[in-house]
Structure 1
C-alpha cells in the first residue's frame, strides 16, 4: 500500500505505510517523519525495501537531495534500514545519533561518518530545534533515544505507544490502552516482545512527560494531540505495575 502523507504539526510531516500482513487482521503502520527547516531532518528512514515509497513521498514535499539530517530511535531495520540509500541520494545528509548507537553500530554501518549527539544536545535546523534525549533500554535497545522538536513541542516517541491498525494520522483518543493491548497480543502470539521491563523504564517515560509536549509522533500508530502529559505518565505507571507484577511472579 502506498504511503499516506499528513502534516501533523507546523512543517512536520508523517509518512505512513500500512502493512496489513503484519499482525492481521488489524495490520501495522510504519511511520517516518520529515521535519522541514533550512536543514531538513528525517526521523526514521524506513525499511530498505520501503525506500522507493518513502523517498517518493518525501519528493512530494521537498527535493530529496536537500535532506540534511537523518536520525532515528535505535539501530533496527524499520528505524534505519534505508539509511545508506538516503545518504546516497542526499549528498549533504549526515546521520546523527547518540554515543552508544554510533559506537556499537553506526560508525561501521553508515556509509558516511555519523555525528555523535550527547544527551540533551540541540541541533538548530533553521526554524526548528531538535533536542536529542538518551533513553537506554526504553522501550528497548541499549542505544535507544528520542528527539524533541522544541518549537512545535513535538516529541518523536519511536516505539513508545506502539499500537496496531491503520488509524487516522492524528488522534485525541486514548493511546495507552491500545498500546498495552497491542503489547499483550505480541506477547501472547510470540510475534515479538516490545518493551524491556526494567527499573529505568517508568522514570524515563515520566521525564519525557516533564517536557509537556503538544504532539506525540508515534512510529507505529496514530500520532496523539490529547493530554500528552497524562498519556506519558499513565504509560509509565502501567509499565511500573507490569514490572512489579513480573518481579512478584518470579519470587513467588
Structure 2
C-alpha cells in the first residue's frame, strides 16, 4: 500500500491510502501552518506509510495538533504513535470525547475543545463543530478551516472504492450507495438539521475521509445529503408505524 500526497487547498494536504481488502480509501489531512495540524491519524497498521507521506511535506516532529472526528480505529488508531513521533504534539478533541475516551486512551493529556472553539495555527485557523451522532458517534464533530473555507468532514459522504484526489463530480450518489452497503449513519430527527447547519458555513472544499476532496457547490451537496437522510428517516418511520393520519 502506498500513501499519496495531494495539496487540495492552500497548505492543506490529503494523505490517501487505498486498502484493497477493505475496498475503501483512508484519508488524513495535514494543515501545514506554524502549528501544523493532522486531521485523522489512520489505523495503526498504516502509520509507517502515512507518516512517511507526511514527512514528504514537513518533518513529522513539527506536528503540533492531532485531531479527528470521533473515536474510531481508522480516525485515531495510531494516535499514540504520532504522539511519540512528534514530542511537542497534543491531541485536541471535543469535550465529551475527551471525558469518555481520549483522557484514558491518549499517552499525553488531550486538549478538550468546546463547540465552536477556535484553534489558531498561525496563518490558518480551525474551528471545532460538534455534530453528536452525525454521522455516528456520541463524540462526533468536524473542523472548519476558516481562511480557505475547507470543511474537514470525516465520515460524511463516505464512498467505496478508489477516487481521484480532487473532484467536482457529484458526491451524494456515491455516499448513498455506501450507506446502502454499510448502514453507518445514525438516522435521527437531528441528522438533517446538523448537516444543513454545515452548509451555512459556505465551504469551498469538502475533505472526505473515504473518497475524494470535493470542490464544487459544497453547500448544495450538504443540503442534498441532508434531504436524502430526511427521506430515509421518514420512510423508516412509515415502515415501523404506518402512515400518519392528520388529526381533524
Give the structure-2-normalised TM-score. 0.97
Give the one of 41, 46, 56 matched to 2:42: 46
For 1:80-103, what per-residue CA distance to the aligned partner results, in whole angstroms no more than 9, with x for missing partners?
000000000101100001111000
For 1:68-123, what per-residue CA distance to the aligned partner results, in whole angstroms no more than 9, with x for missing partners?
00000000000000000000010110000111100000001000000010000001
Counterpart-to-counterpart distance in 2, 1:58 and 1:181: 31
Give the one of 226, 232, 243 matched to 1:236: 226
The aligned residue for residue 121 of structure 1 is 117
Counterpart-to-counterpart distance in 2, 1:210 and 1:239: 18
State the SS of the aligned residue for 1:178: helix
State the SS of the aligned residue for 1:103: helix
Q: CA deviation at 1:20?
A: 1.4
Counterpart-to-counterpart distance in 1, 2:103 and 2:161: 35
* Equivalences for residues 66-145 of structure 1 within 5 A: 66-145=62-141
Q: CA deviation at 1:36?
A: 0.6
* Equivalences for residues 145-224 of structure 1 within 5 A: 145-186=141-182, 193-224=183-214
Aligned residues: 242
Q: CA deviation at 1:182?
A: 1.4
1:250 lines up with 2:240 in the alignment = yes
State the SS of the aligned residue for 2:169: coil
Counterpart-to-counterpart distance in 2, 1:20 and 1:55: 20
The aligned residue for residue 20 of structure 2 is 20
4+ aligned runs moved over 6 Å, structure 1: none
1:36 lines up with 2:26 in the alignment = no
List gaps (5 residues or longer) in structure 1: 187-192
For 1:146-205, what per-residue CA distance to the aligned partner results, in whole angstroms no more than 9, with x for missing partners?
00000000000000000012111010001001100111122xxxxxx3100001100000
Counterpart-to-counterpart distance in 2, 1:205 and 1:154: 15
State the SS of the aligned residue for 1:158: coil
Q: CA deviation at 1:132?
A: 0.3
